[in-house]
């Protein structure tokens, strides 16, 4: 069994929870649909967003340099990291330079990708995640299971238990308002004591050197404005050329992510606060390698809305942790093999290829087509299991010749009718693990049709 | 911190691989804006701001000060020079954290999502709209645009160190998707629309 299938099975063993997960994310998808339908030019916006991102990627070096020039003019220190190790070291350097002790961080998938928290932890430095969902999973020692709804895999009773342990809330209390108030109080103290704030970046505007961060909770702003040092971490693909392009992306992002018209706060940081310091760290970590790959480069257009996860029939029924990569779901399944083909070879197969992900994507990434391309590439490079490769080869052989096809069809119909159950459902038949094989008709469609025509 | 080498390496890696796409030709039509009259925009704005969890109070321009004096008498009015002087940029956070109600001038509103643009020129310390328990934004009723695309034509990011669109009070749904107001920022938002 592949790692994804194995972990999905574990997730599905708790049926009420799996059903809740499925239905809750489907509700988010329906909210998204209502929002999208209320904007008459929605499809046009998707097209424009896709074109802007394509233009950015085709001139990425130019825009990055322009962005840096503008940011430096604004009094910002811009640093570049080629990989995760260098990124982590840069953050450590900034912490040491400012002798920061109390560090708060708002949501940043990039820092998750680079393993920043663990790196700093191993050097005795603790980072407090301030997004409520992220704080919950940080308390529990887990990773996010969704990029926008990090704690969607948990029930309120479990969160209540965690808060009882860590924050001293009443035992057995699980009211979301009560728990949120407790977290508000706890994290206010962290904000007030913060001497450095880390954030991710939603958009970086080349012509102004600004970074834009979108949150509903206000945690990015509480940290950034409270701490004397603010550090914004961005992948190289976060660039948009002009301020006016933000109009298109901010119309798409929250509608597609959570079905809101816009996030509560859309913050534009351009200059350090009076007396403060501002850093922007630009990270490659393997992204530029895929610029020249016509099949996979479009994955770099992603704005991390999570819309493809909410709609995916596999994600909704297997949970984010089943993917084993920092970004789960359809988009994660095409990003993960870019990082490590061997480790994540099963992810492009964790899909029904229904194409719903591509249809909801706000920047028109052809996600399901890339999943299909990855399947072929990974199989060619023998990254998939021998059984899978062998059975695919065999299927190819029998399906490509008329006589062979008729022959094997006859055998299969006979086998399904007469072979004992234990032989048909050998472990090698992965399909039959959770399903019954269909009953076999006496005649193939071809035979049946031939007879009909004759009569 | 020597990251110059990495910068060159990253840019070289990009140049080696980038494929040329045609430049982006222009903005999409803001059809929404073309079709709505000022009165319609005001209705759409109100509906969306309420959906985002904010309270709206509509007042005649000459009734604003009276309303503030009678209903929001404990609020700190950040249009007043003496209040601004009391909370400068180097004001201790412990003092800022005691703010219960803050009145801040909003620049303009966006009808399609109820967002209001706030710039640092209108607040002596950037944290004020977030750290206050209850935020009150003032808005001129004529200052409305239809969409975010119109909004970004109106603002100039190059003229402000910090600016933010605020749509409703701080919120979260991280616990079982239950909506709770007041995650970290203001628990309540009231918008005084005047004119």
- Contact flag A132-B175 (C-beta cutoff 8 Å): yes
Q: Distances in Å between the alpha carbon of A223 and those of A230, A318, B119?
A: 8, 34, 18
pLDDT at A243 over 70: yes
Radius of gyration of chain A (CA): 25
- Contact flag B153-A241 (C-beta cutoff 8 Å): no
In a shared domain, residues A184 and A89: yes
Higher pLDDT, A420 or A336: A336
Domain carrying residue A437:
386-454
Residue of B nearest to A97 (CA): B1
- Contact flag A292-B18 (C-beta cutoff 8 Å): yes
- Quick one: which of B99, B73, B59, B30 has its CA closest to B192? B59
Predicted local confidence at residue B25, as pLDDT:
56
Domain boundaries, chain B: 52-194
In a shared domain, residues A359 and A260: no
- Contact flag B164-A297 (C-beta cutoff 8 Å): no
Question: Is B69 touching A (CB cutoff 8 A)?
Answer: no
Place of tokens 């080349």: A206
Give percent of chain A with pLDDT exceeding 90: 88
Question: 3-state DSSP call for residue A412?
Answer: helix
Residue A195 lies in a domain: yes
Residue A24 lies in a domain: no
- Contact flag B115-A266 (C-beta cutoff 8 Å): yes
Residue of B nearest to A81 (CA): B6
Question: Is A231 touching B (CB cutoff 8 A)?
Answer: no
pLDDT at A227 over 60: yes
Q: Write out the DSSP string of A283-299.
A: E-TTTGGGTT-TTTGGG
Predicted local confidence at residue A1, as pLDDT:
82
Predicted local confidence at residue B26, as pLDDT:
54
Give percent of chain B with pLDDT exceeding 90: 86
Predicted local confidence at residue A145, as pLDDT:
97
How far is the C-alpha of A15 from the C-alpha of A7, rounded, in Å?
Answer: 14
Helix or strand run (H / E) with residue A215: strand A210-215
Predicted local confidence at residue A77, as pLDDT:
98
Residue of B nearest to A185 (CA): B184
Q: Across residues A354-358, what is the average pLDDT?
A: 98
Place of tokens 């760290």: A281
In a shared domain, residues A212 and A263: yes
Q: Across residues A105-123, what is the average pLDDT?
A: 97
Last residue of a domain, one of A354, A380, A406: A380
Q: Across residues A301-311, what is the average pLDDT?
A: 98
Q: Which of residues 87-146 of B touch A (CB under 8 A)?
A: 89-90, 93-94, 97, 110, 112-115, 125-127, 129-131
Question: 3-state DSSP call for residue A55?
Answer: helix
In DSSP terms, B76 is beta-bridged to B102
In a shared domain, residues A268 and A314: no
Predicted local confidence at residue B19, as pLDDT:
76
Question: Is B152 touching A (CB cutoff 8 A)?
Answer: yes
Predicted local confidence at residue B20, as pLDDT:
67
Residue A275 lies in a domain: yes
Residue A246 lies in a domain: yes
Q: Which of residues 1-40 of B touch A (CB under 8 A)?
A: 1, 3-4, 6-7, 9-11, 13-25, 27-32
Last residue of a domain, one of A325, A347, A380: A380
Residue A19 lies in a domain: no
Q: In what order do the strands lie in the sheet with A127-129?
A: A77-81, A277-283, A229-235, A196-199, A103-105, A127-129
In a shared domain, residues A315 and A412: no
Q: Across residues B34-55, what is the average pLDDT?
A: 92
Q: Across residues B56-72, what is the average pLDDT?
A: 95
How far is the C-alpha of A371 from the C-alpha of A335, rounded, in Å?
Answer: 10
Mean pLDDT in chain A? 95
Q: Distances in Å between the alpha carbon of A342 and those of A292, A338, A380, A381, A425?
A: 21, 10, 13, 10, 29
Residue A13 lies in a domain: no
Q: Distances in Å between the alpha carbon of B167 and those of A14, A347, A349, A397, B191?
A: 38, 38, 40, 60, 10
Which of B25, B89, B93 is closest, CB to CB, to A192?
A: B93
In a shared domain, residues A356 and A438: no
Question: Is A42 touching B (CB cutoff 8 A)?
Answer: no
In DSSP terms, A213 is beta-bridged to A267
Predicted local confidence at residue A437, as pLDDT:
87
Q: What are phi and psi of A79, to 5 degrees?
A: -125, 150
B52-194: what CATH class?
A: alpha beta
- CA dihedral angle for residue A98, residue A102, residue A104, residue A108, rounded to 10 degrees: 60
Number of Cβ pairs < 8 A linking chain A and chain B: 276
Partners of B18 on chain A (C-beta within 8 Å) are 57-61, 291-292
Q: Which of A172-176, A414-418, B8-12, B149-153 has the lowest mean pLDDT?
A: A414-418
pLDDT digits (tens, 9 = 90+) for A21-63: 999 999 999 999 999 999 999 999 999 999 999 999 999 999 9
Domain count, chain A: 3
| CB-CB contact of A49 with A249 (8 Å) | yes
pLDDT digits (tens, 9 = 90+) for A392-434: 899 999 999 999 999 999 999 999 989 888 888 888 787 888 8
| CB-CB contact of B114 with B168 (8 Å) | yes
| CB-CB contact of B157 with B140 (8 Å) | no
pLDDT band at B34 (very low <50, low <70, confident <90, very high): low
Residue of A nearest to B127 (CA): A225
Residue A302's Cα: distance from chain center in Å? Answer: 10
Residue A27 lies in a domain: no
Residue A124 lies in a domain: yes
pLDDT digits (tens, 9 = 90+) for B90-118: 999 999 999 999 999 999 999 999 999 99
Question: Is A179 touching B (CB cutoff 8 A)?
Answer: yes
Give percent of chain A with pLDDT exceeding 70: 100
pLDDT digits (tens, 9 = 90+) for B73-87: 999 999 999 999 999
Question: Is A45 touching B (CB cutoff 8 A)?
Answer: yes
- The CATH number given to whatever domain includes residue A187 is 3.40.50.10420
Which of B9, B13, B174 is closest, CB to CB, to A136?
A: B174
- Contact flag B48-A261 (C-beta cutoff 8 Å): yes
Q: How far apart are the first and last CA of chain B?
A: 54
Give the max Cα distance, chain B.
Answer: 66
Which of B27, B151, B183 is closest, CB to CB, to A184?
A: B183
Q: Across residues A350-363, what is the average pLDDT?
A: 97
Predicted local confidence at residue A422, as pLDDT:
87
- Contact flag A57-B48 (C-beta cutoff 8 Å): no
Q: Which of residues 270-329 of A touch B (CB under 8 A)?
A: 270-275, 282, 284, 288-289, 291-294, 297
Q: Which of residues 9-38 of A touch B (CB under 8 A)?
A: 24, 27-28
pLDDT digits (tens, 9 = 90+) for B16-27: 988 766 655 555
- Contact flag A180-B182 (C-beta cutoff 8 Å): yes
| CB-CB contact of B61 with B97 (8 Å) | no
How far is the C-alpha of A392 from the C-alpha of A410, rounded, in Å?
Answer: 19
Predicted local confidence at residue A302, as pLDDT:
98
In a shared domain, residues A159 and A301: no
- The CATH number given to whatever domain includes residue A358 is 1.10.1060.10
pLDDT band at A343 (very low <50, low <70, confident <90, very high): very high
pLDDT at A363 over 70: yes
Last residue of a domain, one of A242, A260, A285: A285
């Amino acid at each position: 069994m592949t790692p994804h299938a194995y972990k999905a099975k574990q997730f599905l063993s708790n049926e009420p929870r799996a059903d809740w997960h499925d239905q809750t994310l489907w509700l988010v998808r329906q909210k998204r649909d209502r929002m999208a339908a209320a904007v008459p030019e929605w499809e046009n916006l998707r097209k424009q967003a896709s074109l802007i991102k394509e233009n950015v990627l085709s001139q990425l070096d130019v825009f990055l340099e322009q962005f840096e020039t503008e940011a430096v003019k604004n009094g910002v220190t811009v640093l570049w990291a080629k990989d995760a190790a260098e990124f982590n070291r840069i953050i450590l350097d900034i912490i040491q330079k400012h002798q920061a002790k109390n560090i708060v961080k708002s949501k940043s998938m990039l820092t998750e990708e680079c393993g920043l928290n663990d790196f700093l932890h191993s050097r005795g430095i603790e980072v407090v995640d301030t997004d409520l969902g992220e704080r919950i999973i940080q308390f529990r020692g887990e990773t996010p299971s969704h990029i926008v709804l990090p704690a969607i895999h948990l029930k309120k009773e479990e969160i209540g238990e965690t808060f009882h342990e860590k924050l001293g809330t009443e035992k057995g209390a699980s009211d979301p308002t009560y728990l949120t108030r407790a977290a508000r109080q706890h994290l206010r103290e962290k904000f007030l004591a913060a001497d450095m704030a880390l954030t991710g970046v939603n958009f970086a505007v080349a012509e102004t050197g600004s970074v834009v961060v979108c949150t509903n909770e206000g945690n990015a702003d509480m940290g950034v404005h409270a701490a004397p040092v603010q550090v914004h971490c961005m992948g190289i693909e976060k660039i948009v050329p002009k301020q006016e392009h933000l109009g298109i992306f901010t119309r798409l992002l929250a509608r597609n992510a959570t079905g809101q018209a816009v996030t509560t706060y859309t913050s534009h940081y351009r200059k350090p606060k009076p007396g403060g310091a501002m850093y922007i760290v630009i990270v490659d970590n393997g992204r530029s390698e895929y610029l020249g790959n016509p099949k996979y480069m479009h994955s770099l257009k992603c704005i991390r809305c999570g819309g493809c996860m909410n709609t995916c029939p596999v994600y909704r029924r297997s949970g984010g942790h089943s993917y084993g990569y920092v970004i789960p779901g359809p988009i994660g399944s095409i990003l993960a093999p870019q990082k490590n083909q061997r480790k994540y070879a099963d992810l492009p197969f964790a899909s029904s290829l229904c194409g719903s992900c591509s249809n909801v994507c706000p920047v028109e990434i052809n996600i399901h087509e890339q999943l299909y391309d990855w399947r072929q590439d990974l199989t060619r490079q023998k990254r998939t299991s021998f059984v899978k490769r062998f059975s695919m080869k065999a299927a190819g052989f029998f399906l490509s010749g008329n006589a062979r096809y008729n022959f094997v069809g006859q055998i299969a119909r006979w086998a399904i009718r007469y072979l004992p159950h234990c032989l048909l459902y050998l472990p090698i038949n992965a399909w039959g693990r959770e399903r019954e094989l269909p009953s076999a008709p006496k005649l193939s469609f071809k035979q049946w049709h031939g007879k009909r025509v004759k009569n | 911190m020597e990251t110059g080498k990495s910068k060159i390496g990253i840019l070289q890696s990009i140049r080696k691989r980038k494929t040329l796409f045609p430049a982006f030709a222009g903005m999409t039509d803001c059809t929404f804006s073309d079709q709505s009259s000022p009165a319609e925009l005001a209705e759409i704005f109100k509906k969306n701001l309420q959906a985002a969890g904010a309270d709206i109070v509509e007042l005649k321009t000459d009734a604003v000060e009276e309303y503030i004096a009678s209903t929001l008498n404990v609020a700190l009015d950040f249009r007043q020079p003496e209040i601004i002087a009391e909370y400068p940029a180097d004001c201790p956070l412990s003092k800022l954290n005691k703010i219960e109600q803050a009145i801040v001038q909003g620049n303009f509103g966006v009808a399609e999502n109820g967002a209001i643009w706030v710039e640092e020129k209108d607040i002596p310390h950037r944290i004020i709209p977030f750290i206050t328990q209850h935020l009150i934004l003032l808005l001129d009723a004529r200052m409305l645009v239809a969409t975010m695309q119109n909004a970004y034509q109106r603002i100039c990011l190059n003229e402000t160190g910090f600016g933010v669109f605020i749509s409703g009070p701080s919120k979260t749904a991280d616990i079982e998707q239950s909506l709770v107001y007041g995650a970290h920022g203001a628990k309540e938002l009231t918008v005084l629309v005047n004119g």
